[in-house]
Structure 1
Amino acid sequence: MTQSMPGSTTPPGWYPDPSDPRSVRWWDGHAWTAHQAPAQFQQPGQFQAPGQFQQPVQPPRPELNPQTPVYNPFIWAITLMPLVSVLLLFTWQPEFRMITTTEGVTTVDPFAMYTPGYFLLMGSGFLFYGLSVFFAYLDRQRLLKSGVVRPFHWAWAFLSALVYVIGRSVIVHKVAPKRGLWPVWATIAVFVISMVITGIWTANFMQSVYSQLGYSVQT
């Protein structure tokens, strides 16, 4: 069907099919096309006024073939990068020392923390943030090629990589039942491991501070 609607300014989208109320048909902005889908959530009535359509109808996402892969290196990179960032904590080993200011006040040297490890840690944080957004874009492109309709948008990664991982997993799980949730479980595992590593680093860090400042640590 390619019948056009002269004077219509309706944007492209899925709309109730005027020839079959049980279906929706794709309107390309100028004419009806041959693309048709079941109207699972169609509202009553087809038109509000001559030449004006209702809001576009979003058909349900079709399920993927069980053999279609739903994971790729990009989603795993997004999931595991926080663990690499935590491991870089061990490259930051500041040496604290006491100094006396011109006013005669004894205090800890405030510049002792700015070691090469500190700048590596800070720089890696910005790098991994940018990479997570880039990998989210590549992951979404891969899902589109795999046949996932309307996958979770990669721009959510700007808010948080965790938001993207959860949203992506929910949608993939809908189109691939019993699959798609492993990135969420991996994220939980990475969080637990990160907490353990951070606790170990913090304990070693505080012991080093006490030792460098001349305090005795009871063991």
Structure 2
Amino acid sequence: MYTTWIWLVVLLPLLSTVLSLATIGGVSRSLAAFAHPSPANLVLLTSPGYLVSSILGWVIFALSIVFSRLDHRTLERRGVERPFHWAWSFLAWPVYTIGRAVIVRRVAGGRGAGVLWASIAVLVVTIAAGVAVSLILMSAMLQLVHQLPSTGA
């Protein structure tokens, strides 16, 4: 009981993760502008990498909702009674994919666990990448703090 749509929902977050890792260098370099107070400090929020990453994050969120709806409709057409509702994807993509996998396994006699395991694997990868990005940004911010002029106390 696999559909193309469910695999798109499961794998789409990897695109956002790859983009975050690709743009983190530019974002961390943009943090250096905050060491010197000026109107140019908005460079971080207007940097192309940050803007593309932010916009793509929203696009991926919207696409995961659309693909969840298409998957739900496909399951209904294949005769699955009361498939896991696609609106759960508004909370987060893993909610829909894991819930869907549980329902499909129940209906399909134990088959369909691939979506569950793929969702868990993608979730682990995205969390690990998030931790890495957080560590890189924290390192950049700590370097920024050391560059700030001391005020003396």
TM-score (norm 2): 0.77
Q: Is 2:115 aligned against 1:183?
A: yes
Counterpart AA for 2:36: I
Counterpart AA for 1:110: N
> Greater CA deviation, 192-201 or 167-176?
192-201
Q: Which residue is equivalent to 2:44?
A: 113
Q: Is 2:35 aligned against 1:76?
A: no
Identity of counterpart residues, as a percentage? Answer: 35
> Greater CA deviation, 72-81 or 160-169?
160-169
Q: How far apart are 1:79 and its partner, in Å?
A: 0.9
> Greater CA deviation, 115-124 or 191-200?
191-200
State the number of aligned residues: 140
Q: Find the structure with the greater CA-based Rg.
A: 1
- In the aligned structure 1, how far is the partner of 2:131 from the partner of 2:65? 28
Task: From the superposition, tell whether residues 116 and 100 of structure 1 become closer, same or farther in structure 2 (CA, over 3 Å).
Answer: closer
Q: Is 2:58 aligned against 1:126?
A: yes
Deviations 1:74-132 (A, max 9, x none): 1011111222111111224132133246xxxxxxx632322111111111111111111
Q: Is 2:112 aligned against 1:163?
A: no
Q: Is 2:76 aligned against 1:139?
A: no
**Which runs of no fewer than 5 residues in structure 2 stay unpaired?**
148-153
**Of 74, 80, 105, which aligns to 1:173?**
105
**Alpha carbons 2:94, 2:123 under 8 Å: kept:** no
Q: Which has the higher strand share?
A: 1
Task: From the superposition, tell whether residues 83 and 117 of structure 1 become closer, same or farther in structure 2 (CA, over 3 Å).
Answer: same
Q: How far apart are 1:176 and its partner, in Å?
A: 0.8
- In the aligned structure 1, how far is the partner of 2:120 from the partner of 2:82? 26
Q: Which residue is equivalent to 1:200?
A: 132
Structure with larger RCO (C-alpha < 8 A, sep 6+): 2
In the TM superposition, 1:7-46 aligns within 5 A as none
Q: How far apart are 1:208 and its partner, in Å?
A: 4.7
Q: Cα RMSD between the aligned structures?
A: 2.4
Q: Which residue is equivalent to 2:150?
A: none
**Secondary structure of residue in 1 paired with 2:42:** coil
Task: From the superposition, tell whether residues 100 and 125 of structure 1 become closer, same or farther in structure 2 (CA, over 3 Å).
Answer: closer
Deviations 1:16-65 (A, max 9, x none): xxxxxxxxxxxxxxxxxxxxxxxxxxxxxxxxxxxxxxxxxxxxxxxxxx
Q: Which residue is equivalent to 2:36?
A: 99
**Secondary structure of residue in 1 paired with 2:82:** coil
Q: How far apart are 1:200 and its partner, in Å?
A: 3.2
